[in-house]
Chain A
Amino acid sequence: MTTIDREGLKFSDAKLIIGLEVHVQLKTESKLFCGCSTQFGSNPNTQTCPVCTGMPGTLPVLNEKALALSIKTGLALNCEIARYTKWDRKNYFYPDLPKGYQISQFDKPVCGEGFVEVKIPKSDEPARKIRLERAHLEEDAGKSVHDESGKGGVSKIDLNRTGTPLLEIVTKPDIRSAEEAKAFLTELKLILGYVDVSDCNMQEGSLRCDANVNLHFTDGEEAVATPIVEIKNLNSFRAAERAITHEARRQFKEFRETGETIDDAPKQTRGWDDSAQKTTPQREKELSADYRYFPDPDLIAVVISEQEIEDAKSSLGDLPAALRETLQSEYGLNDYDSDVIVSAGREMVDYFRAVADGSGKPGKPNGKMASNWVGQEVMRYLNENAATIEAYPVAADAMAELLARVTAGEVDQTRGKEVLAEMLASGCDVQEAFDKLGIVKVDSSDLDALCQQLIEENPAVIEEIKGGKVKAVGSLIGKARKINPNVNPGVLRESILKIIGL
C-alpha cells in the first residue's frame, strides 16, 4: 500500500502520462491482401471476395502499394524502416472477424522507432519530440450492425471493411496533457496529408485513436501510478482531448478514494460516451488477452530493399516542420502565420510561395504581404465556400501580379481588394478588373490639382493639421477618393503635407 497522503493530494500534483495508438487507413485502391475495393459507404457486403471473407482454401497476397505507403509514412515520422518484415496472426474469436484471426505484425513491424515534433498552439512551450514506439501494418476487421430497436432482433455483419489496410502508429508514453495529445494528432494528421498516404477522415474511420492514460504521483522517494486505462475508439480530436481530460480527473478521484495502483489492477478498457461526456467501462472482446500470435504461414516475409526506401524518401517532399521553418527563414513569417499557411496543406504552401515569389523581387519574396492576403482574403473565401485551394478561382500568378501592382503603388490595398473581388466575381484577369473598376494611375499634375482643391475647400481641416493633428488628413483622403477613386491614399497624404509645408 502506498504511503502517499491521498487526502492532501491535489490534482495538480498528478503527472499525466498518455500514450496513443492511432489507426490510419492507408490510401490504397484495394484491400491489404486481396483486390477488393476499399471505397467507403457502399452497400453492405458488396466489396468482398472469397479472400477477404476468409473462405476456406483462400490465401492472402500482399498489396505492395500498402507496404510502400507504410514505408513512406514511416519515413515521414522519422521511423527506422525494417529491412525485413513479416506477418503474424492475432487469433481471437469475434463475429466480424471472418478468419478468426487478424493478420498483423507482432515482432517485426515495418516501421520501428521514430518521433513527431509537437508544439501546443498558442502556448509558449517549445516544440517537444513525442517518440514513436513502432508503426505496423494490419488488416481491419468487419463491422457488426446490431438491432438497436431494443427488441433484441438480429445482428448483421458487414464485411466491406474487412481487410482494409491499417497502419497502427503507437507512441511511447511521452504525451503529458490532453492539449498535447490533440496537438500530436493534429500534427500527425497534417503529416499524413502532406505525404498523401491517408485521407485521415475520422468520420469515415480512416483515422481512429485509442488513448492509454494514467497518473503518476511522486512523494520524495516513492512513486505511484494509477492503473492504466485504454480509452477506445476516439473518433474526433476534440473527443480525444475531452476524454483524456475527463479520464485524468476520474482517475484522480478514484485514486483518492481507493488508493488502487497499477500494481493492484490490470489495464482496463473504457469507452468515451460523447453525449454524457464521460468514459465508461467496456466489455472486453475476450476474457484473456492471449492472442496466440505466431507467424502467418500463408504469407512470405518481406525484404525491403535500400532502393525501395530511397524511392519512398524521394517521394516525400518537404514536410510540415521543414516548411514552417522555410516560411520563417526565407519568407520572414512569424510562428503563427507560418503555421496558418502550413496547416492548410501542401497546395496552400505552394500557392503562397508562388504568390510571394511572383510578387516580390528575385531573392526577395514578398512574404509578409503574401501571407496577409493569402491568410486573410484567400482563406476567408475558401472558408465561406467550403473549398480547397485547388478550387480557388484566382491562380497564383494572377494573385502575384495584383500584389506586385499594389506594391508598386498602382493601386492601394483597399482598392486592390476590390480588384480581387472583381476577379473572383467575374473570373477576369488583373488588367480587366482594373479596367472594369476604372483604375488608372493618377498622374502628378492631376494629383497636385486635386490637393489644391482639397486645401481650398477644407480650411478648417488644414488648420487642424497645421496645429499638429496630422491624423486629420484622413478625412481629406476620404473626400479625395470620392472625387477620384484611383487616388493612392499614401501618395495623396504625402502631397498634401508637402504642399502645406509639413
Chain B
Amino acid sequence: MSVLDNSIEQLVQQVSAGEVTASQCVDESISQLKAQNPTLNAFVSDCEEAARAEAAAMDAKIAAGENVGPLAGVPIAIKDGICTKGQRTTAGSKMLENFVPPYDATIVQRLRAAGAICIGKANLDEFAMGSSTENSFFGVTKNPWSADCVAGGSSGGSAAAVAAGISPASIGSDTGGSIRQPASFCGITGVKPTYGRVSRYGLIAFASSLDQIGPMARSAKDCAILMNVLSGHDAKDSTSARNDVPDFVADCDQNLKGLRIGICKQYFENEPDGSGLNENVRSGVMAAIEQLKELGAETVEIDLPHTRYAVPTYYVVAPCEASSNLSRFDGVRYTSREQAKDLIGMYSKTRKVNFGDEVIRRILLGTYSLSSGYDHELYKKASQVRRLIKNDYDAAFEKVDLIAGPTVPTTAFKIGEHAKDPLAMYLADVFTASANLAGVPGISLPCGFSADDGLPIGLQLQANMFGESTLFRAAHQYQTQTDWHLKRPQSS
C-alpha cells in the first residue's frame, strides 16, 4: 500500500510526526506520475526536481522540530492554467508552449506556505475551454476508469491525477463546471467555491466573472483541508471577498439533523434539447438523496425556472470575456510570432496558428456578441438573464440549505464522441453552469457507478453564497456512510 492511499489528514499527521518523510511522499507521487502519465496524459509537465528539493527542505525542517503547515508533504497537482514561478505554465495552448511565469499565483503561494508540494502541472482544455480535455494542445487526458473515455474538462488532468492515485489532491478551476464535471467523470470529489472565496490572481483567465479556483481530492474532508488553505481575501484580486473564512474541516463533523435539501424539478426533467438525464445517473443520484435523508436531512421541492437558460447564457458571457482576456496573446509577446506583411496580418496569422479550433470558435463568438456597442446587445441581455438565475437561487435558498442533483447528465463519454458537434458537448454543462453564473458554491462527489458502463456517477450539492460549510458538512457525512469515494480504478 502506498503512503498516498491515506487521507490527507492521516498523511499530514504522519509527515508532521516524522513517521513518513515528505521525500517519500514525493518519490511515490513522482514514480506514479512517471508510470501512469504515458497512458493517462494527465500532466503537461512534472516538477520533479523542484518537488524533491522542496521535500528535502521540509524533511530538514521537521527534523529540526520546526512547525510545518496543514498540508505538510502533500503532493499536489496544479492545473496548468495556474501560474507557477519558474515552472512552465501553458494553459494547454501552443500559444504559451514555452511561457515561464515570473510569479506564483496567490493560491500556489498559499499551498507552498502550507507545506504542499507541487509535483506537476495538470493537463487541461486549452485556456480551460472545453468539457473533455480534448482541446489541449498537449493531447487528451484519459479517464483512469476507462482509457477510451475522457476524464472530463477542463480540469481533466487534475481529476485524473487524483483518481489514478498519482497525487492525493489537485487544484482545478471551474468556469462552467470545469472542476465538478471531471470530478464526476473520474469518481472523485471536487469543489467550486463561492465566487470571490479563493483568489484568482495567477489563474490564466478564461472568463473572469465566472472563473473560480477550487480543490479536487478523494474525499470532501480532504477538499475541506485544502479549502482552509486556499480561501481568504487577497489584496491582489479586486473581486476577492473579505468574508471571514470558517474552519471547513471542523464543519464537516456536524450532523445533518434539520438540514433542508432542495430537489429542483428542472434537474430531473428530460429536456427536448437532448440534455436528458441518463437513467443510471438519475437512479444513482436519487439513491444518494435517500441516503442523505437517512442521515437526518429533509427534502423540499424547489423551482429554478431559469435553469434551461443557463447554458445559452453561459455561452454568451464566457466567450465575451474570453475574447477580451485572450487578446493579450497577439504575437507581440510570449511564445510565437508569425511573419506577415503588416501588423494586422501578424496578429491574425499568429492567433490562427497558435490557438486551437475551440478557442478560435469562442473568441469569434465573443467578439461577435460584443460588437457594435454592447448597450442592447447579447452581452447585456445575457447579464440580465444571469440576474434572473441568481434570483432563482436566492428564492430557493430562502427555503432550503442545499440543492441536490446530478453533476452531469451522463457518465464520461468516449474520446472523440462529440468531436463533430461542439453544441452537444456544451450541453454537458447544463447542471453546473448556473452555479458559476450565480456565483454560488458547488461540490461534486461520487455516488455510485453506472450499470451500463461501470463509470462513476457524480452527485452535485450546491449551497448559498459562502455556504461551503454546508456543502462539506453534507458531503462528509454522506461519505462517512458510503464508500464510493474509496473505490479505485483497476488500472492504478
Contacts and interface: CB of A to CB of B under 8 A. Distances in A.
Interface string B229-248: 00000011111000000000
A298 B238 contact: yes
Nearest to B201: A59
Contact of A56 (B324, B328, B332, B343): B328
Interface string B316-356: 00001101101111101110000000011001000000000
Contacts of A54: 328
A61 B327 CA distance: 20
Interface stretch (A93-101, A186-194, A267-275): A93-101
Give the most central of B103, B324, B330, B374: most A CB within 10 Å.
B324
B332 A62 contact: no
Chain A interface residue bracket vs B? 20 to 34
A299 B367 CA distance: 21
A415 to B, nearest CB: 65
B347 A93 contact: yes
Interface stretch (A121-129, A287-295, A326-334, A403-411): A287-295
A427 interface: no
B353 to A, nearest CB: 16
B449 interface: no
Interface stretch (B180-188, B204-212, B393-401): B204-212
A353 interface: no
A91 interface: yes
B96 A56 contact: yes
Nearest to B93: A56
Given A56-B99, A57-B201, A298-B205, A89 B237 contact: no
Contacts of A44: none
Give the most central of A57, A59, A157, A300: most B CB within 10 Å.
A57
Contacts of A298: 205, 208, 238-239
A61 B347 CA distance: 28
Interface string B183-218: 000000000000000001111110111000000000
A300 B374 contact: no
Interface string A46-63: 000010011111111110
A362 interface: no
Given A57-B105, A298-B205, A95 B332 contact: yes
Interface string B278-304: 000000000000000000000000000
Nearest to A107: B375
Given A91-B324, A292-B367, A294-B374, A61 B235 contact: yes
A57 B82 contact: yes
B238 A61 contact: yes
Interface string A34-76: 0000000000000000100111111111100000000000000
Nearest to A94: B343
Given A56-B101, A298-B239, A101 B324 contact: yes
B243 to A, nearest CB: 14
B320 A293 contact: no
A99 B328 contact: yes
Contacts of B96: 56
Interface residues of B, number: 46
B238 A59 contact: yes
Given A50-B102, A57-B204, A100-B330, A293 B373 contact: yes
A297 interface: yes
Contact of B374 (A55, A93, A101, A292): A292
A100 B324 contact: yes
Contacts of A95: 332, 343
A290 B324 CA distance: 13
Contact of B332 (A89, A157, A293, A294): A157
A194 to B, nearest CB: 32
Contacts of A99: 327-328
Nearest to B374: A294
A156 to B, nearest CB: 11
Contacts of B203: 57
Contact of A292 (B205, B209, B332, B370): B370
Contacts of B374: 292-294
A297 B201 contact: no
B105 to A, nearest CB: 6
B77 to A, nearest CB: 18
Give the most central of A55, A101, A300: most B CB within 10 Å.
A55
A325 B103 CA distance: 56
B83 interface: yes
Interface in B428-473: none
Interface string B78-92: 000011000001010
B379 interface: yes
B320 A50 contact: no
Interface in A166-211: none
B67 interface: no
Nearest to B366: A292
A94 B320 CA distance: 20
B379 A98 contact: no
B324 A294 contact: yes
Contact of A290 (B89, B238, B332, B372): B372
Interface string A253-296: 00000000000000000000000000000000000001011101
B328 A57 contact: no
Contact of A300 (B235, B239, B371): B239
Contacts of A61: 235-238
A53 B374 CA distance: 26
B209 A297 contact: yes
B371 A292 contact: yes
Contact of B328 (A62, A98, A157): A98
Nearest to B91: A56
Interface string A148-159: 000000000100
A300 B238 contact: yes
Contacts of B371: 290, 292
Contacts of A293: 370, 373-374
A265 B371 CA distance: 22
A58 B327 CA distance: 14
B323 to A, nearest CB: 8
B280 to A, nearest CB: 38
Contacts of B208: 296-298
A50 B101 CA distance: 9
A60 B238 contact: yes
Nearest to A300: B238
Nearest to A54: B328
A502 B344 CA distance: 92
Contact of B327 (A57, A59, A91, A157): A91
Given A98-B333, A290-B371, A56 B204 contact: yes
A382 to B, nearest CB: 45
B185 to A, nearest CB: 26
Give the most central of A54, A55, A294, A300: most B CB within 10 Å.
A294
Contacts of B344: 93
Given A56-B101, A57-B201, A292 B324 contact: yes
Contacts of B324: 89, 91, 100-101, 292, 294
Given A95-B332, A100-B328, A55 B239 contact: no
Contacts of A53: 333
Give the most central of B91, B103, B334: most A CB within 10 Å.
B103
A292 B334 CA distance: 24
Nearest to B235: A61
Contacts of A292: 323-324, 367, 370-371, 374
Interface in B372-410: 372-374, 379
A294 B101 contact: no
B327 A93 contact: yes
A53 B235 CA distance: 19
Given A56-B99, A99-B327, A300-B239, 11 more contacts: A50-B101, A55-B101, A57-B203, A58-B202, A61-B238, A89-B324, A98-B328, A98-B332, A293-B373, A294-B321, A298-B205
13 contacts: A50-B101, A53-B333, A55-B103, A56-B83, A57-B101, A61-B236, A93-B327, A93-B344, A290-B373, A292-B323, A298-B205, A299-B238, A299-B239
